[in-house]
Amino acid sequence: MSNGRNMLGVVTIIIALSGVALGAYSFIFMNNYVNTLNAQNDELNGKINDLNGEIDDLNAIINETNSYHPPIAKVYYDDVSAYSIPSGISQTFNYNQIDFDNRDAFNLTS
């Protein structure tokens, strides 16, 4: 009877050690798998951040393009920077006479 118990004890120990070994292998495998997934996740997050930066740059260009600011024209009449037209009198300024623009009034870039 003691041989049967000894044999049962040995088989139990072998099964227990096999379970421990399998558990340790599973833990190591899962740890490596999780580390690989984390590395891939970090890489993808870096790429996403790069793309978000490019999108921000493109949005800035779009906003700059869409925000049109008309140029401010400097127009002078009879060497007076500001003038008023008396009521009942019609005064016109010939915008085609750029030759007479001695104050650079038609330079809309300055």
- Give me the DSSP letters along 78-96: TTBSS--PPTT------TT
Strands (E) in the chain, as ranges, are none
Sequence spans of domains, the chain? 2-100
Per residue in 30-84, pLDDT (tens digit) is: 989 999 999 999 999 999 999 999 999 999 888 877 776 655 555 555 555 444 5
Per residue in 4-16, pLDDT (tens digit) is: 678 888 889 999 9
Per residue in 73-102, pLDDT (tens digit) is: 555 555 554 445 555 555 555 555 555 556
CA distances from 32 to 21, 27, 35 (A): 17, 9, 5
Q: The pTM is what?
A: 0.41
Q: Which two tokens stand for residue 15?
A: 């099964």
